[in-house]
Structure 1
Amino acid sequence: MGQHVRAGELEIWTEEVGRGPDVLLIGGLGDTVESWQFQLDGLADRYHLIAFDNRGAGRTAMPDGPVSVEVMADDAADVLRATGVASAHVAGFSGGSIIAQELALRHGELVRSLVLQSTWPVMDAYLRSWARFVHWLVEAAPSERAFLENFFLDIYTARAHNNGTVEKFIEEVLAFPHKQSTEDLRRFLDAFIDHDTTDRLPQIAAPTLVLAGGLDPTARPQLCRAVADLIPNAVFEVLEQESHQPFQEVPEEWNSRVDAFWRNVGPGS
């Protein structure tokens, strides 16, 4: 069962499962702990996993004041401290991977290793235009279902759309009782459009695995590779037949690859 923990000035909704080396999971745009369900179920026999709802998503409120990646990275650090974790393997996807980068830069002592799925150092013109399209789509779509059907075109593979996986995800989102407001989604998205870690990524000392989806039209492999090239000794891999969120589409493959990386890094002190 999840619970709110006091993290800085926020009550942040968290889910903790399993025993073993500590892992922090950071979600992307509007995503809640449920986005990591395949990892919470599939890795709990080997790891102590903590997932949480970012500010303005799910069961964590969006406070007044500026929203920035730096603030959300501080939230993640506060979650670790509130749960008594001195250092964790950190995994983030999409916007959550950018928060994870900033967490490693601002609170490096808390980060044992990094897994960055579908990431970038700075949005290029294409990705920035896509983000602005989502900003418009969330308001213009005639229904929540219509928004999800169109947004998910760029998130999941054609395979997942054709085999019913995406429809299942849509039904789960529609039934979820803790809806994110349009304004909160836009504020979250805006925090990433001009965020740039290019000059600072070489400062990251944590062992890092960068994963790209070969079919991802948004955080394309060349953007992910740019991150791997900037972080010393980072490992870069492309899941050729996957899109933006392979940890949901092929969770066993993703979990196995990440588990191997974490085992190679070791649990730390």
Structure 2
Amino acid sequence: MRLSYEETGPADAPVVLLGSSLGANQAMWAPQVDVLANRFRVIAFDHRGHGGSEVPDGPYAIEDLGGDVLELLDTLEVEQASYVGISLGGAVGLWLAQNAPDRFHRFAVICPPSNPAATAQVWLDRATQVRAEGMQSVVDATLARWFLPDFKADLEPVRQMLLACPPEGYAACLEALSTTNLLPGLASITAPVLVITADSDTSIPPETVVPLAAEIPGAHLEIIENAAHLVTYSHPDVVNPLLLAHLG
């Protein structure tokens, strides 16, 4: 699987991978890339079915998405990296932490769904909707989950990013979430993990993330106040220092 990616920062620096939210592409990391690239070789990638990556027919599974990341590391000849992921990218990070611990130094998982299979029909219904009606049918609802009403920044670039997401890729990743339960393996994670949640996240509510952090040995939990789901975009002034402190 060929994943689209962009590298920033010194070629000989420690590697940090950035895994995006469902429906987003590597451009969503613009508030983080330059800051991280002062210290790291930053590789922001698009999940399969998103951005410039290939779009195979669905359904996908979390093993597919995690395997794509490992294949990317192999392609880049990177033995070990750290990983930062939000939303879908956070779920992929938890899978990698459980299934490929030898390839990663540290993880930061932001608003991660740990057991989306518990609400499988919600994801499957949205997949059906997007295949039938296109991305325009979910954009407004997605933006309402991602940002609080009083967030004043221009969201048109984010809207266009969502509209550009291939409907099949989006739907197939929803199907991957519908079969994902990462809870049983959390206690086996050995890498240092930073878990970030947002107090007003209606997409992945904090009451589902806080217990997740408690199950990961030694995990550090941060709750961002007055924030909705896409905290990397809305609150980089809070998130970026947390990432830098954790990644070392």
Q: TM-score, normalised by structure 2?
A: 0.90
Counterpart in the other structure of 1:166: 155
Q: Counterpart of 2:123?
A: 131
1:8-19 to structure 2, matched below 5 A, reads 10-19=1-10
Q: Verify: 1:157 aligned to 2:142, yes or no.
A: no
Unaligned runs of 5+ in 2: none
Q: 3-state DSSP class of the match of 2:184?
A: coil
In 1, the alpha carbon distance for the partners of 2:243 and 2:38 equals 14
CA spacing shift, 1:201–1:192, aligned 2, 3 Å: same
2-side partners of 1:64 and 1:52: how far apart? 19
Within a 5 Å distance, the mapping from 1:35-184 to structure 2 comes to 35-64=28-57, 67-123=60-116, 128=120, 130-132=122-124, 134-138=126-130, 144-145=135-136, 147-160=138-151, 163-171=152-160, 173-174=162-163, 179-184=164-169
CA drift at 1:31: 1.9
Report the CA distance shift for 1:261/1:194 in structure 2 as closer, same or farther (over 3 A). Answer: same
Q: Secondary structure at the residue paired with 1:114?
A: strand
Q: Which residue is 2:205 aligned to?
A: 220
Q: CA deviation at 1:21?
A: 2.1
SS in 1 for 2:96: helix
AA paired with 2:69? Answer: A
Local SS of the residue matching 2:108:
strand
Q: Which residue of 2 aligns with 1:205?
A: 190
Question: In percent, how many aligned pairs have the same letter?
Answer: 25
On the 8 A contact 2:25/2:161 being kept in 1, the answer is no
Q: Distance in 2 between matches of 1:172 and 1:75?
A: 22
Question: Structure 1: how far apart are the matches of 2:128 and 2:59?
Answer: 21
Alignment CA distance shift 1:33-1:138 (3 Å): same
The one-letter code of the counterpart of 1:87 is Q
User: Separation in 1 of the partners of 2:124 and 2:57?
Assistant: 23
2:24–2:161 Cα contact (<8 Å) kept:
no
Partner of 1:30: 23
1:14-43 CA distance string (max 9 Å, x none): 111012321011112122111112211222
> Using a 3 Å threshold, how does the CA distance of structure 1 residues 144 and 121 change in structure 2: closer, same or farther?
closer
State whether residues 120 and 226 of structure 1, in contact with CA within 8 Å, keep that contact through their aligned partners in structure 2: no
Please name the residue that 1:188 is paired with. 173
Aligned-CA RMSD value: 2.1
Contact 2:117/2:177 (CA < 8 Å) preserved in 1? no
Q: Quick one: which amino acid aligns to residue 29 of structure 2?
A: W
SS in 1 for 2:183: coil
Shift of residue 218 of structure 1? 1.6
Closer, same or farther: CA 238–206 of 1 in aligned 2, 3 Å: same
Q: For residue 226 of structure 1, report the CA deviation from its aligned partner.
A: 2.1
1:137 deviation in Å?
4.6
Question: Which residue of 2 is the match for residue 249 of structure 1?
Answer: 234
Q: Would the alpha carbon gap of residues 232 and 131 (structure 1) be closer, same or farther in structure 2, given more than 3 Å must change?
A: same
